[in-house]
Structure 1
Amino acid sequence: MESKEKHANHTRLALADPPDCCSKPRNQLTGEVILVHRGNCSFTVKANVAEEAGASAILIINNQTELFKMVCESDADVNIKIPAVMLPQDAGSNLENYINNNTRVSVAFYSPKRPAVDIAEVFLWLMAVGTILLASYWSAWTAKEVAIEQDKLLKDASEEFLQVGSAGSSGFVDINTMSAVLFVVFASCFLVMLYKLMSFWFVEVLVVLFCIGGVEVCAFPHIFVCLVQCGLFPPSFYW
């Protein structure tokens, strides 16, 4: 089988008769790709019948919109020399409708070679590392900016005011056992909900929520400094 699409040969697609291809087709095949329906017999039987009838490949239409991994029984004859591919129900129905409307349909089989290094994986790794580096740099830069603004606002403050401001700047958060258990429970529930309700609208909601959270984290130090300068909060409110 060719490894590139441009080198693959286009072969005419024909419907199986009977549609399940569990018995010898009534129509004569001369190297066509046969389109069959799933069910009534095993995948190996369908492939063997199609090969004996002269088909160059077999396309099996699944009875669901999802794809199904084709497997063979342990005692089955797996001496199959033609490609066997499963199609989702909607894709197979579209091909079947084209053929029933007297439209010539051709398919090309090719098997791309898996590269030693996947460019997509490298890109995802670089994007993940770059995100962490940028987030770290942004966090350090905003902390430095906030510290500079804090020094400017507190340089003329009283000693008591400075002690109040320094008392809340330890940077540590105390977490008790109950908080840790609740975090694990809520995180587990969220993962289960993410798995059960995975759909287009749910993904859109998550993207919007993450965007709001990211904007809030990035913009909060600057907004707070502006509010302090306007006198809406005391300098030690955040620190």
Structure 2
Amino acid sequence: MTKAIITPTVTLGYYRNARTHLIEITLGQGRAAKRTTVHSTLFIAIFPDVDRRWTGGTIDANPSQLYALGLGPKPRKEMTVKLADMPYQVRYVYAPQIDRYIARLLGTRQEISSNPRHFRHVTGVSSRAALGSVSLTADQARALGFIIAEEEVAADEISEHRYICVLDRDGWRITVNVFTPRPVTKDELRGLAIDRAIEHLALTGIDAQPDEFEPVGFREVTPYVD
């Protein structure tokens, strides 16, 4: 049985202040959001894979990175699990406008909205969790409303490609993560990235259209287990 180190991550929003040249970072949404400001050299030291040309976007942070930014407690010991025990990865965001969690099953087109109390009960996430990802068993995924086949799926049969994409919308740079079960062409990736950006903006009340975006660049990164 293949084993892996499970490292939970959350998504941070960041941008470079043009006046101070400092990096302003936000964790969470609304009144519960945490904010901090760090020098760009520290930010790059904590996130060495970030493209230094980008002026802002989103980035995934693990507990050690949150601790280094002053946005989280000292991380606990990492947990080792069997991949086949928790084969389903779900990314989620809390939408305060509708008081629901929006969750997507990675590697599929399935997306559901869930009552906050039910979502937290099934997944075990904190009541303060607003954005992140979680590993679920097949039964947990079904409990949320995802359609999961009854037959078992071997861990080594689960593959996923992750792309970091940067789009421009009226002078603003938007960074999104795109996950696919197979490699995709540039044209396919452009459409997927724009769809994802529109979804993110919609959660903040912004109605965007596909023709408003221009691709800036993208890169594929090594898949990871959240």
Pair in the same fold by TM > 0.5: no
- Shorter-chain TM-score: what band? under 0.3
Q: Which structure has the highest helix share of the two? A: 1
Q: Which protein shows a greater Rg?
A: 1
Higher RCO, 1 vs 2 (CA within 8 Å, ≥6 residues apart): 2
